[in-house]
Chains A and B, each alone.
Chain A
Amino acid sequence: MKERSSSAGPQMTRQEFLKRMLGAGALVGGSALLGTRLWDRSVRVPGFEKTAGISLPGFQMDPSSVLPELVVARGADHGALIASAVGGLGGMSRFVKPGEAVLIKPNVAFDRPAALGTTTHPDALRAVAHLVWEAGASRIFIADNPINSPQGCFLKSGLTAVASEMNLEIIYPEEHTFSSLSMEGDVLREWPMFYEPFRRADKVIGLAPCKDHNLCSASMSMKNWYGMLGGRRNQFHQHIHRIISDFALMVKPTLVILDGMRILQSNGPTGGRLSDVKVLNTVIAGTDMVAVDACGYEQLLGRDLSQLTYVHLAQKRGLGRADWRNLRVKEVTA
């Protein structure tokens, strides 16, 4: 019949037929497959999730039974003082092996000039970096997560200039440089950590100024690690001593240097007047930051050690020695 063939129109080719079947089949199959692959039937309670964060490796050296654990160096030349303090511990080559990447952690918390004593002094950084280069390090990083804007803090403290002069790489706290840290602290359990600098380093050196602090009495080498954390740090003040003692659990540095050339002795931790700063011409270096801080609290700030709760907490928890006089202490003059 004519109408049958005409109403059917031109016949579809076998190829076209297969193409369409395949297209539709692929779409149905693909969406079913993708749908079931992505299917999420789980229920969670937002905020209750247990996230397995990173844990920070230790950077400490094997203990020595003969070398000093704490060196107190006195003298007028900043560079020479730091060199002799580290020298007293056995020299930088004890801590840094050729080819290693080293993180130096200064305290750059505030957008202030170095003279005000609120940040690590550029001369101190230069001296430490010099020693680390001499020991044969391959790279040196400096990093901090300041209270004020990072670029401003590094620039105005004078550390940006030292970084370019000494070929140090500044790692700024950017979003991707943070990871969630998991630890069994008294207070710190899960917390965003400025982890990237640690990830890239083989050795970690803390280089802190010695400062008065309004809440915890003193900010020294333990408190310095505050700058390697992110998140809501303004909550730390609710348990400040327990938090600072947690830092001794969190970070096991290779070496810490507490710079007491010029100390901020009042209106800390921000200071603001030169009259808050006192010249002491002393540098303390050590492998046990609890002991370094205990020593610094007495020898630099001249305060009653029994008042510094966090070092006692740390000692109680076996994280260091607050009774620094019972260690092998060496005093040097440069």
Chain B
Amino acid sequence: MSPSDPDVLGISKMPKKKLRRFHMFDGRITQLRILSQTFFLLLFLFLVVVTDLRYLKGYPVSLFLELDPLVSVATALSTSTVYRGLILSLWVIIPTVLLGRVFCNWVCPFGTLHQLTAALPGGKNKTERIEANRFYSRQHLKYFLLAGLLVMAALGSLQIGLLDPISLLHRSMNTAGVAGVDAVAPGTVNLSPHVYTATWLIGGLFLFLLALNRFYPRFFCRVLCPLGALLGLFSRFSLFRIHRDPQRCIDCDLCLQKCQGACDPHTFLRQSECFVCFECIEACPYDALHFKFMPGSESENEEAPVPGRRAVMAGLLGLAGFSLLRGVGTTKRRGWRQRIRPPGSLAEAEFLQRCLKCDQCLRVCPTNVLQPAGLEAGLEGMWTPVLDMERGYCELNCTLCGQVCPTGAIQPISLDAKTGRGDFAEQGPVRLGTAFYDRGRCLPWAMDTPCVVCEEVCPVSPKAIYTREKTVTRRDGSKITLKRPYVDPSLCIGCGICQNSCPVEDQAAVRVSPIGETRSKERQLMLRAEEGGSIEAVGTPEPEMYEEYGDDHQG
């Protein structure tokens, strides 16, 4: 039997229906799949839209991130824990072991977008598609990326979020997508339009990845996706697989027309690449392909996706990547002046073990103060959340960022903990940093002009910003009594509303820096001593020594 003489047995004349061995879905399976893809894509977009104070009513807005096994596996490597909702990823791992990478073509909203872009009109013709959907060795790249990224995670730098499809899609939607909608339809997704510093970069990368589908279908899924690689490894064990009956196959390659995974169903199937899209089964005119429980492996290519030596290479690259990121040096000390983290954030080293850069916190933040970091958090902290008080401030009675964080980089702290009430009266409040005055720019300090908006908006009680009155003679000889503002560092929580409301708008006269942030033991400013202590009872004639404790001592 040869391909040039396909019908020597007269197979094509046989009624197709009779030949099917797998009747369960009866040709409707791809429609069912499209239904599933539509549902999950809409669900994803719905969750993006409702990640807003007005709609957020207990919706599991980070559900997709919690289902994502790459998130749970990588954070388990970096923290030795599986944080809260991440246990849900078992609901993806288990089906993958049973059925293969169904997630990729039935659930993943990013995958659906890639499939859609590739299928838009004006693309490749049938022959070109068949060629494009063959397996190419570049598909191995994703396994290298996975190995490298997991090595970095194990060393303590979680970088999977750069390429993890769910994190990437969330980040793109949360910064670029939402900002785009805000620009054309204000008031729909955000009450007031939100602006993000890295929109152009994050959005541009997103569009670029989608555009690649026009040249090579599902480029991201097949070549780059580290989640796909991880699921590919799991799917090598799967019990159900596509099976080609070589005795029926006439090597017409029609199965490749719409093959999503480029897994070579027309010859020796590469199971770890198969997206279980069922397109090959439907396309086969001779009923040679079936989805079977434990078929024999005679028609599979069982070559390991990353041969051992190359896996080691990838690991070494991860190691090099890690040292490069840490070598940039901003993680530990330099550049942290602008790195103010959301309330409830873990100490920086732990934060970087967990933050996916999914930017869910940015999406839910009602004041737009949270921004994707540029380089202020180090190269490894790119796109992690930082507060930019020029754009917003941390709302006192709000802990939403921690509630939506899927990995616990920002802990879901209670309002009591944040504000230092109730059980937390002794330890609290949570401080993000400390405000400092720039007296050369402050109106009462430098311009003989009354102001103190900062004192008015300071949300804590007693106020962290207080004033001292000072009567000065102005240039024209008139006298004016000014209230000059000061910060009490023991009360300041670093919320930044003073900076945000300062009329010196381009560079506020009061600015917050992260010194004194609760999360870091290393970045404390004030050394807290026990109240009272034993000092006042000591007899000594040196009053200035005791000024800080009041005058209650004996001479």
Chain A residues with CB under 8 Å of chain B are 3, 6-7, 9-12, 16-17, 20-21, 23-24, 27-28, 31-32, 34-36, 38-41, 43-48, 185-187, 190, 231-232, 235-236, 238-239, 241-242, 306-307, 309, 312-313, 316-317
* Residue numbers in B under 8 Å from A187 (CB-CB): 527-530, 533
Interface bits B215-244 vs A (CB < 8 Å: 1, else 0) = 000000000000000000010011100010
* A46→B94 contact, CB < 8 A: no
Among all A-B residue pairs, the 4 with the closest Cβ atoms = A47-B518, A40-B81, A235-B527, A46-B519
Indicate which residue in B72, B84, B545 contacts A309 across the interface (CB closer than 8 Å).
Answer: B545
* A309→B542 contact, CB < 8 A: yes
Q: Is B116 an interface residue (CB 8 A)?
A: no
Task: Given contacts A10-B298, A11-B296, A47-B347, list 18 more A-B pairs with CB under 8 A.
Answer: A9-B246, A9-B299, A10-B296, A20-B239, A32-B90, A39-B82, A40-B82, A43-B411, A46-B350, A46-B411, A47-B520, A48-B428, A185-B530, A235-B524, A239-B548, A309-B545, A312-B538, A313-B535
Indicate which residue in A35, A41, A236 contacts B72 across the interface (CB closer than 8 Å).
Answer: A35
A17 to B521, CA, bound (A): 56
Q: Is B346 an interface residue (CB 8 A)?
A: yes
Indicate which residue in B234, B519, B540 contacts A307 across the interface (CB closer than 8 Å).
Answer: B540
Q: Kindly provide the distance from the CB of A260 to the nearest chain B CB, expressed in whole angstroms.
A: 23
* B427→A45 contact, CB < 8 A: yes
Q: Is B248 an interface residue (CB 8 A)?
A: yes
A43 to B530, CA, bound (A): 28
* Residue numbers in B under 8 Å from A16 (CB-CB): 296-297
* B527→A239 contact, CB < 8 A: yes
* A7→B245 contact, CB < 8 A: yes
* Residue numbers in B under 8 Å from A7 (CB-CB): 19, 21, 245, 247-248
Q: Is B97 an interface residue (CB 8 A)?
A: yes
Q: Kindly provide the distance from the CB of B234 to the nearest chain A CB, expressed in whole angstroms.
A: 7
Tell me whether A20 and B540 are in contact in the complex, defined as CB-CB below 8 angstroms, given that A39-B82, A46-B518, A48-B518 are known contacts.
no
- Residues of B contacting A: mostly: loop
* Residue numbers in A under 8 Å from B89 (CB-CB): 35
A199 to B148, CA, bound (A): 39
A23 to B235, CA, bound (A): 11
Q: Kindly provide the distance from the CB of B399 to the nearest chain A CB, expressed in whole angstroms.
A: 10
* B296→A316 contact, CB < 8 A: no
Q: Kindly provide the distance from the CB of B18 to the nearest chain A CB, expressed in whole angstroms.
A: 9
Interface bits B43-74 vs A (CB < 8 Å: 1, else 0) = 00000000000000000000000000000100
A36 to B77, CA, bound (A): 15
Tell me whether A9 and B296 are in contact in the complex, defined as CB-CB below 8 angstroms, given that A48-B427, A187-B529 are known contacts.
yes
Tell me whether A241 and B545 are in contact in the complex, defined as CB-CB below 8 angstroms, given that A9-B299, A46-B519 are known contacts.
yes
Q: Is B541 an interface residue (CB 8 A)?
A: yes
Tell me whether A45 and B411 are in contact in the complex, defined as CB-CB below 8 angstroms, given that A24-B238, A238-B527 are known contacts.
yes
A39 to B540, CA, bound (A): 57
* B239→A21 contact, CB < 8 A: yes
* B21→A46 contact, CB < 8 A: no
* Residue numbers in A under 8 Å from B548 (CB-CB): 239
Interface bits B509-532 vs A (CB < 8 Å: 1, else 0) = 000000001111111111111100
Q: Is B313 an interface residue (CB 8 A)?
A: no
* Chain A residue with Cβ nearest B20: A7
* Residue numbers in B under 8 Å from A9 (CB-CB): 243, 245-247, 295-296, 298-299
Q: Is B345 an interface residue (CB 8 A)?
A: yes
Q: Is B412 an interface residue (CB 8 A)?
A: yes
Tell me whether A48 and B97 are in contact in the complex, defined as CB-CB below 8 angstroms, given that A11-B296, A17-B294, A187-B530 are known contacts.
no
Q: Kindly provide the distance from the CB of A298 to the nearest chain B CB, expressed in whole angstroms.
A: 15
A312 to B537, CA, bound (A): 10
Interface bits B239-269 vs A (CB < 8 Å: 1, else 0) = 1000101111000000000000000000000
Query: What is the number of contacts between chain A and chain B, taking CB atoms within 8 Å?
Result: 156
Indicate which residue in B87, B237, B346, B347 contacts A23 across the interface (CB closer than 8 Å).
Answer: B237
A236 to B528, CA, bound (A): 10
Q: Is B83 an interface residue (CB 8 A)?
A: yes
Q: Please name 15 pairs of A and B residues whose Cβ atoms are closer than 8 Å in the assembled complex, sorted by A.
A: A3-B19, A6-B247, A10-B296, A24-B239, A28-B94, A35-B90, A40-B82, A186-B530, A235-B524, A235-B526, A236-B527, A239-B529, A307-B542, A312-B539, A312-B540
* B82→A35 contact, CB < 8 A: yes
* Residue numbers in B under 8 Å from A235 (CB-CB): 524-527
Tell me whether A45 and B90 are in contact in the complex, defined as CB-CB below 8 angstroms, given that A9-B295, A186-B534, A242-B529 are known contacts.
no
Tell me whether A36 and B97 are in contact in the complex, defined as CB-CB below 8 angstroms, given that A6-B247, A27-B234, A232-B522 are known contacts.
no
A39 to B76, CA, bound (A): 9
* B237→A24 contact, CB < 8 A: yes
Q: Is B465 an interface residue (CB 8 A)?
A: no
* A242→B535 contact, CB < 8 A: yes
A162 to B328, CA, bound (A): 39
Indicate which residue in A31, A186, A317 contacts B529 across the interface (CB closer than 8 Å).
Answer: A186
A12 to B293, CA, bound (A): 11
Tell me whether A40 and B411 are in contact in the complex, defined as CB-CB below 8 angstroms, given that A28-B93, A187-B529 are known contacts.
no
* Residue numbers in B under 8 Å from A239 (CB-CB): 527, 529, 548
Q: Kindly provide the distance from the CB of A302 to the nearest chain B CB, expressed in whole angstroms.
A: 17
* Residue numbers in A under 8 Å from B520 (CB-CB): 47
Q: Kindly provide the distance from the CB of B536 to the nearest chain A CB, expressed in whole angstroms.
A: 10
Tell me whether A38 and B417 are in contact in the complex, defined as CB-CB below 8 angstroms, given that A242-B533, A306-B541, A307-B542 are known contacts.
no
* Chain B residue with Cβ nearest A241: B545
Indicate which residue in B80, B82, B412, B525 contacts A43 across the interface (CB closer than 8 Å).
Answer: B412
Q: Is B109 an interface residue (CB 8 A)?
A: no
* Residue numbers in A under 8 Å from B424 (CB-CB): 45, 48
* Residue numbers in B under 8 Å from A21 (CB-CB): 239, 294
A127 to B362, CA, bound (A): 64
A142 to B44, CA, bound (A): 62
* Chain B residue with Cβ nearest A243: B527
* Residue numbers in B under 8 Å from A312 (CB-CB): 538-540
* B529→A20 contact, CB < 8 A: no
Q: Kindly provide the distance from the CB of B233 to the nearest chain A CB, expressed in whole angstroms.
A: 10
* Residue numbers in A under 8 Å from B457 (CB-CB): none
* Residue numbers in B under 8 Å from A45 (CB-CB): 344, 411, 413, 417, 424, 427-428, 430, 518
A37 to B98, CA, bound (A): 22
* Residue numbers in B under 8 Å from A232 (CB-CB): 522-524
A156 to B19, CA, bound (A): 90
Q: Kindly provide the distance from the CB of A21 to the nearest chain B CB, expressed in whole angstroms.
A: 7
A32 to B298, CA, bound (A): 31
* B526→A238 contact, CB < 8 A: yes
A45 to B346, CA, bound (A): 8
Which residues 257-298 of B sit at the A interface, judged by CB distance below 8 A? 294-298
* Chain B residue with Cβ nearest A239: B529
* Residue numbers in A under 8 Å from B540 (CB-CB): 306-307, 309, 312
* Residue numbers in A under 8 Å from B522 (CB-CB): 231-232
* Residue numbers in A under 8 Å from B238 (CB-CB): 24
Q: Kindly provide the distance from the CB of A191 to the nearest chain B CB, expressed in whole angstroms.
A: 9
